[in-house]
Amino acid sequence: MIRFAYILMSFGLLALSVDSAESQEFTAETDLTYADIADLALSAPVVAIARIDRARRLDEERAIGVAPNHVRFYVEAELATLIRSAEGVPARVSYLVDVPRDSDGRRPRIRDRQVILLAAPVPGRRGELQLIAPDAQIDWSQHREQVVRAILSEAASDDAPGTVTGVGSTFSVPGTLPGESETQIFLATSDGRPVSLSILRRPNQEPRWSVSLGEIVERASPPPERNTILWYRLACFLPDSLPDASLENMDNRQISVARADYRLVREDLGICQRKRS
């Protein structure tokens, strides 16, 4: 995903180019998916709810790099709720935002909108924010606020998994009965904490898989619920298939079983749908 840096300047200067781990349901209310919101929320040092008080359109010569059919505004907004920030943020903030034109091609009216800001503070400019992406101002709704809060709450918990960066090693051991096996897949994470997948197959039973967030393998734990942080870390960051490097020191039969078990996990997790460009 391409990241755009918005360098916030005072107007008149040239502009340079749910409080639990509960699964959230998504409806036609929003085009943003859980993964879209998680991508934004987890990357933003500042997350806040604000109401736009003033919005001035920048002239084209001052709005360098604006996407086609978009308008750049210099916005002043009143903060209603500060959801996340490592330091204090003034009650009144300003920032630049690019907004798509209305369906009829006219300039959109954004004054008085209540929005969720996903931003970073501008160093040395108190009260000025820099959106972390062109679409990091999203219209507020109770549903979206609940999702943002749930994501940040889960991510801040002591047992929250780090971002999955790849697959480390894989082991698959046949059982004593025909069709019986156990596969363990150890994942690499951004914070180095252990995360592993266990897949059990037994005769005349549906295969079962679980996730362990520690050194001890917990075979009884259920797969993660959809639209939770653990689901997001797995569904959105696991590779589509097991890399060959993770299958060393295994015979062909073990490799075949391990690949089938990994496909089972990927299919159960489902698609990590993203709609942001």
Instruction: List, for residues 15-45, the tens digit of each pLDDT value.
Output: 322 333 344 444 444 589 999 999 999 999 9
**CA torsion 103→105→110→114, rounded to 10°?**
20
If we measure between CA atoms, which residue out of 30, 263, 238, 257 comes closest to residue 142? 30
Domain locations along the chain: 34-156, 164-269
Which two three-digit tokens encode residue 214? 């520690």
The model's pTM is 0.85
CATH of 34-156, one of 2.60.120.260, 1.20.1530.20, 2.40.50.120, 3.40.50.10540: 2.40.50.120
Instruction: List, for residues 71-106, the tens digit of each pLDDT value.
Output: 999 999 999 999 999 999 999 999 999 998 887 767
If we measure between CA atoms, which residue out of 98, 50, 90, 92 comes closest to residue 74? 98
Q: First-to-last CA distance in the chain?
A: 7
172-188 burial code (b ≥16 CB/10 A, e <16): beeeeeeeebbbbbbbb
Length of the chain: 277
CA distance 91 to 82: 9
If we measure between CA atoms, which residue out of 155, 65, 7 comes closest to residue 147? 155
Lowest mean pLDDT among 16-20, 106-110, 188-192, 203-207: 16-20
Q: At what angle do helices 142-156 and 34-43 cross, to 10 degrees?
A: 60
